[in-house]
Amino acid sequence: MKITDDSTLNKLILLYVFEAMDVPLTGRTIIEMCSSRNLWLTYMDCMVAVNELLDSGLIYRSSKEKIVEKGIISDAYYNITPDGRQCLDHFYTKIPSTLRSEITEYVKQNRMAYRRKQEYYRNYYKNPDGTYTVHMKIVDPVQTTLELKLNVTNRDTAKQVYNKWEEKAAQIYYFLHEELID
């Protein structure tokens, strides 16, 4: 469902998305969910609504370390405040029920994929000696939980590690935790 032109409705839609996701979201994730993958908001409406919600104290931004991925610097997570939840509790019926259902279903099907995408950073680069380094992290809104750099002999191996990280990160973290901490 495509919604535009009503700034109050746009802000309520964003609050509903935050409430449904139940985790802090990066700016990139907000745009991808609301404007790219779905037509709930246009890109510009989404950006305006995020800024207005910040200014009114209905969402907050928490800084984290800077991560550069595909040329975009992601250094903040956004989340709903108690006032934002209260506002949504009072006015969620202003969002059409079909759109609420669509958002709820989309979030149910995609929540874990978005969490992994936000929390599991990965990149690889070529070293001066011709080998490759795969840089992998598990990050949360406040800090880096795990950071690994793995040197491999060729680009194909680097790509293989890169592609497996999102799927295997939690498993690797738990293995290391169990093996290293009593």
Q: What is the DSSP string of 59-110?
A: EEEEEEEEEEETTEEEEEEEEE-HHHHHHHHHHGGGS-HHHHHHHHHHHHHH
73 pLDDT more than 50: no
State pTM to two decimals.
0.70
pLDDT per residue over 95-147, tens digit each? 999 999 999 999 999 988 887 777 888 999 999 999 999 999 988 766 788 99
pLDDT of residue 86: 96
Question: Counting Cβ atoms within 10 Å, is residue 111 exposed (0-12), middle (13-18) or buried (19+)?
Answer: middle
pLDDT of residue 2: 47
* Residue 7 to residues 14, 25, 53, 109, 128, Cα–Cα distance (Å): 11, 20, 11, 27, 51
Domains of the chain: 7-118 (1.10.10.10), 119-180 (no CATH)
Q: Are 124 and 38 in contact (CB under 8 A)?
A: no
5 pLDDT more than 60: no
Q: Are 75 and 64 in contact (CB under 8 A)?
A: yes
pLDDT per residue over 146-165, tens digit each? 999 999 999 999 999 999 99
pLDDT of residue 113: 83
Other C-beta atoms lying within 10 Å of the C-beta of residue 37: 12
pLDDT of residue 71: 41
